[in-house]
Structure 1
Amino acid sequence: MKTEEPVRLVFVVEGRVAVAPYLDTVRSEVEDVTVVSSIGELFPLMAREAFNGILLDVPTLVRATSTEKAALYDLIQVFPTLRVKWDSRSATVRALFYDRVPGPGAGLGSFVRQVCACFVPRIIRRRDRVAAHLNVMVSETPAFSPEEVTRTVSLNLSLDGCFLIAVDPWPQGARLWLRMLEFDDQTPIAAEVRWRKPWGVSPGIAGAGVRFLELTDEQRKCVVDLCEQNRVVGGI
């Protein structure tokens, strides 16, 4: 007789919050749980190992950066995810569901048995960037004042972000707002500069790699379509 595989969850909780009674209570409900201390540790782990779901400690989530919270968005759309918080007075784990609650009095145990157990464990796949030469307007404020706008072109594109060609790139960590002229939805896209390659320092195209912090549903669909088609739009 084949033995069922245990439900595997990853638990994101900072070390200062991860007191022994908290972890023991979680482990009493989850047979196989891997603990990481930050959202930054979550992604490389989930790219290597398959999980049925995610537990997010609320205080850890509150202290996460806006970039980390934005990066979590796609994971939450795919993996069963539950926010949890340790109540030291009652020595219990409080559960906060993102969407439909599986039943009256539902908590961590029912989340594991009724939601995660039905989800096929999987790894996350790193998104490949595809060539996409889009006309982009860049502003350092969402107002897009004419005197502040830089006109440029993207070199590639993924759901996570893109590379913008620029001779004198914006500083690492800078917040930008983008408008891609090929998109029907011209809502400004909030983005953050993750890395930069200045002109003249080394061979190659100068510019900045940016991460999208927020996309509308229509913009997300447009990016997905472009990535799936793997074609160049509005070439330079």
Structure 2
Amino acid sequence: MDLSAKAQPVHVLLVAAPGEARDAYERELVRVGVSFDALDSPADLRGPMAERLYNGLLLDLATWIRCPAQKRSTLQGVLERFPVLRLLYNPEQGGLRGVTLGGTVQQARDMEAFLLEQCAGFPARSFRMAERQSSICNVRILERPDQPEAEGLRAVTSNLSEAGCFLISCRDFAAGQQLWLVFKELDDHEPIAATVRWLRPWGESMRLPGAGVSFDSLNEKQQRALRSLHREPA
């Protein structure tokens, strides 16, 4: 399917060091019909580039690993806000493979399917880092928008911004999963649609488990309320 023919064309950012792997990624993007910008390193994501609008991020895994650890930590907030496909290139083992955040190499994703199923339906936004604070809020996680609030899974948030948050929970989620969130601290208890972007499963590290989510839509009242919450001291 040629994604360039869609009413709202898909535009993504490719982060990969120059070389054979990047050439292969760019050929595939041209074949699929997706417009893209390319960066040599995640460290280059600044200035005017960070203000452009994208529907997703393609990240060469080897390039990401070579990026300084401190810079990777800073950019984690970006990964929480977009559909992300980590790319591996090995011409001797089938060429190009993609792995979503929270997935494994054994769960390889096709780039074209990722662009069609996740990026095409994702509202374009900039990579400008939203102000984040470790605000602790109480939230109910719903599996559908009409689910009674009292039946929702109890969780708390960290790294809250107007773009998304991290949900602290031992529940198993899936990348790309749709959730609806009700914040106890907000006067407006209308569920907020959110999409799981990355995962930190229980038991895999000495850090709090949960899922990074991006907010899909907020009404003006919710935007103002979240802005107030994430600016308050934690």
Q: Report the TM-score, using the length of structure 2 for normalisation.
A: 0.51
2:174 is aligned to: 171
Aligned AA (2:224): K
Aligned AA (1:206): P
Distance 1:165 1:16, change over 3 A: same
Structure 1's consecutive aligned runs of 4 or more residues displaced over 6 angstroms after TM superposition are 53-56
1:50 is aligned to: 48
Pick from 200, 212, 219: which aligns with 1:197? 200
**How far did 1:70 drift?**
4.8
- Taking only the aligned residue pairs, the percentage that are identical comes to 35
Separation in 2 of the partners of 1:201 and 1:55?
33
Separation in 1 of the partners of 2:192 and 2:155?
15
Q: Pairwise mapping of residues 1-236 of structure 1 onto structure 2 (< 5 A)?
A: 12=11, 15=30, 37-38=35-36, 47-50=45-48, 70-72=122-124, 125-145=128-148, 148-227=151-230, 229-232=231-234
- Please give the per-residue CA displacement for 1:157-213, whole angstroms capped at 9, x wherever unaligned: 012100111112311211000000111222111111111111111101011111111
Higher Rg: 1
**How far did 1:148 drift?**
4.8
Aligned AA (2:178): R
Alpha-carbon contact 1:39-1:68 (below 8 Å) kept? no
Separation in 1 of the partners of 2:53 and 2:171?
41
Distance 1:159 1:17, change over 3 A: same
Q: Which runs of 5+ in 1 are unaligned?
A: 1-10, 19-35, 57-62, 76-123
Alpha-carbon contact 2:118-2:176 (below 8 Å) kept? no
Separation in 2 of the partners of 1:161 and 1:65?
21
- Please give the per-residue CA displacement for 1:5-61, whole angstroms capped at 9, x wherever unaligned: xxxxxx95974697xxxxxxxxxxxxxxxxx814998xx79943427x9799xxxxx
Separation in 2 of the partners of 1:176 and 1:151?
13
SS at the partner of 1:192? strand
SS at the partner of 2:48? coil
Separation in 2 of the partners of 1:155 and 1:45?
25
Distance 1:40 1:206, change over 3 A: farther
Q: CA RMSD in A?
A: 3.6
**How far did 1:226 drift?**
2.6
SS at the partner of 1:203? coil
**How far did 1:231 drift?**
1.5
